[in-house]
């Protein structure tokens, strides 16, 4: 693809050789004459000048001292992501149903759907147009899969779940398993029936081996555009808002509410019925206590989660503990010397 064509497709301006052919995308370090790379920010300017990339996607203020070929964009990372999809398109599988798939007679399969080997689709389920169902997927009864969805191999969707259009479910993820609900009676735990549902909005992405549990009663809900990384657990009756991003190995206990545009780092643990308000940021490894509220726009870290400034102050104080311990030991030694001197003086006085 020529630089001129790519710039026009991105809605951006270019400088240099607009007829240069670009074959692939690459990093600044490894890019060659036929490669496209990008400059994320000012910190990368010096490295970008040394890059052998045939074309750079660069910020508007990038100094083009060598008159090299580049495309200017207000958000270079975003423009580069779009360009990668153009230079490296993923060929969709051919529509059709593999002969080993087992599909209930009452299931509805939309036009252009691809269903891979050894899939099963239950009674009353609906698969939207152009959806892709990978090998070994198991879709239960009364499930709705929106148009353009992609289910990679070995995804399991339990009964009575709804998945919005263009959502991506990666291998091994499980949607709609029972929530962790038990009651104690007579010295034994008894299962609390989990009869709710899961509803996932449009344009979501759920990573490999992640689990979204059905509600005990009502709905476990994940909003439009939300992205869950690998090995994330969303428990029963959680409500995750729109355009939330959650990094790997994070766990949400039952009844947690996360409002729109929150950002949650990896290995975060969130207790029952906690609330994370809009655009809050939880640093990696944070622990949010049961029923705690993280206020809108607040950045928190640590366990228990606290405002970032407070967390950093406490870390600084912890780092000073060895020094403080030495100071206390020295003060104790001096005090003992003073007490010893005083005792000796008292004995001489008598």
Which ranges of the chain does DSSP label H, i.e. alpha helix? 3-10, 45-50, 76-87, 308-319, 321-349
Q: Which residue has the higher pLDDT, 144 or 63?
A: 144
| Separation of alpha carbons 293 and 39, rounded Å | 38
CB contact at 8 A, 270 and 262 = no
CB contact at 8 A, 117 and 98 = yes
pLDDT in tens, 113-126: 999 999 999 999 99
Mean pLDDT confidence for 130-135: 97
pLDDT the model gives residue 46: 85
Mean pLDDT confidence for 312-317: 80
State yes or no: pLDDT of 321 exceeds 90: no
Size (the chain), residues: 350
pTM of this prediction? 0.84
Fold category of 3-87 in CATH: 3.40.1390
Mean pLDDT confidence for 93-104: 95
3-state DSSP call for residue 48? Answer: helix
pLDDT band, residue 215 (cuts 50/70/90): very high
CB contact at 8 A, 233 and 210 = yes
| Separation of alpha carbons 143 and 46, rounded Å | 53
pLDDT band, residue 345 (cuts 50/70/90): low
Backbone angles phi, psi at 83, to 5 degrees: -65, -35
pLDDT the model gives residue 148: 96
Return the ∠ at Cα 82 (arms to 77 and 86), rounded to 5°. 140
| Separation of alpha carbons 291 and 276, rounded Å | 10
Return the ∠ at Cα 281 (arms to 275 and 285), rounded to 5°. 90
| Separation of alpha carbons 285 and 267, rounded Å | 5
pLDDT band, residue 319 (cuts 50/70/90): confident
Domain layout of the chain by residue ranges: 3-87, 96-309, 321-350
Which ranges of 201-320 does DSSP label H, i.e. alpha helix? 308-319
pLDDT band, residue 349 (cuts 50/70/90): low
State yes or no: pLDDT of 223 exceeds 80: yes
Q: Which CATH architecture has domain 96-309?
A: 3 Solenoid (2.160)
**Would you please indicate which residues are annotated as catalytic (active-site) residues?**
236
């Amino acid at each position: 693809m020529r630089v001129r064509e790519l710039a026009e497709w991105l809605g951006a301006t270019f400088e240099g050789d607009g007829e240069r052919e670009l074959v692939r995308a690459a990093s600044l370090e490894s890019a060659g004459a036929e490669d496209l790379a990008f400059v994320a920010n000012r910190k990368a300017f010096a490295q970008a000048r040394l890059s052998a990339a045939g074309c750079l996607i660069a910020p508007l203020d990038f100094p083009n001292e060598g008159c090299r070929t580049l495309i200017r964009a207000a958000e270079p990372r975003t423009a580069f992501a779009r360009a990668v999809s153009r230079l490296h398109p993923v060929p969709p599988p051919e529509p059709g149903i593999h002969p080993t798939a087992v599909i209930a007679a009452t299931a509805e399969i939309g036009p252009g759907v691809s269903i891979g080997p050894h899939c099963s689709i239950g009674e009353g389920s609906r698969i939207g147009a152009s959806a892709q169902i990978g090998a070994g997927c198991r879709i239960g009864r009364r499930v709705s899969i929106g148009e353009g969805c992609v289910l990679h191999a070995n995804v399991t969707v339990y009964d009575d779940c709804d998945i919005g259009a263009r959502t991506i479910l990666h291998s091994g993820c499980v949607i709609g398993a029972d929530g962790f609900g038990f009651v104690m009676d007579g010295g034994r735990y008894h299962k609390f029936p989990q009869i709710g549902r899961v509803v996932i909005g449009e344009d979501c992405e759920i990573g490999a081996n992640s689990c979204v549990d059905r509600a005990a009663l009502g709905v476990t809900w994940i909003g439009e555009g939300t992205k869950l990384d690998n090995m994330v657990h969303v428990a029963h009756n959680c409500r995750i808002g729109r355009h939330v991003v959650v990094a790997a190995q994070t766990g949400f206990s039952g009844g947690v509410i996360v409002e729109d545009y929150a950002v949650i780092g990896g290995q975060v643990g969130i207790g029952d019925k906690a609330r994370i308000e809009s655009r809050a940021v939880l640093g990696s490894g944070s622990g949010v206590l049961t029923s705690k509220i993280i206020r809108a726009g607040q950045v928190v870290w640590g366990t228990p989660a606290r405002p970032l400034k407070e967390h950093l102050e406490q870390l600084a104080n912890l780092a000073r503990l060895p020094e403080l311990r030495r100071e206390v030991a020295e003060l104790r030694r001096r005090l003992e010397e003073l007490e010893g001197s005083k005792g000796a003086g008292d004995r001489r006085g008598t």
